[in-house]
Amino acid sequence: TPGCMLLGYARCSTTDQDPALQLDALTVAGCERIWTETASGAAAERPKLADLLSHARGGDTLVVWRLDRLGRSLPHLIGLLADLEQRQVQFRSLTEALDTSTAGGRLVFNIFASIADFERQLVQERTQAGLAAAGIPTTVDPRLVRGLDYYTHTLFEFRSGALDAAQNAVGGGGRYDGL
């Protein structure tokens, strides 16, 4: 399709690792542009990936050498792929032969998404069961929330007043002095 690009993403976890294998595979796959990053897979901030995602347009395909090069976890990967799908950007993982531009690739993606959702629900159920077994309430009384809001607001006002008093004591003009 004219105007559609293959956008490659290579990531190494440490500076000791060499991205050459990934770069070669992405080049052979036909990627016109490749973003390379050194960052832990668990790192929330990955500027090169963010830059790639900002350049991806509908019809483009994001290509990685392996799935683990893209996502921090299955839920994170599912979230990224869902965002790409919503923006009509395809995804291809060379090692796993996953390609969301095909019916089979979309099927595998949806199976992954279902597994991730199932895992989230199991964690929630286990957490609720553990809290119940420990006798810890699993819901919050709205009166407690209102009370917490009141005390937080009161503490803020007290601190603001104390700051004004301290500024006045040293010759400052109060709350807006120095703005």
| Active-site option among 13, 54, 73, 101 | 13
Q: Which tokens in the block code for residue 34?
A: 């490749």
CB atoms within 10 A of CB 61: 21
Half-sphere exposure of residue 56, counting CA atoms within 13 Å on the CB side? 29
Q: Which long-range contacts (CB under 8 A, 24 or more apart) does 26-30 make?
A: 26/63, 26/64, 26/65, 26/94, 29/63, 29/92, 29/94, 30/6
Q: Which tokens in the block code for residue 24?
A: 């070669």
Closest listed residue to residue 89, CA positions, set 45, 46, 53, 116: 53
Question: Any catalytic annotation for residue 13?
Answer: yes
Residues recognised as catalytic: 13
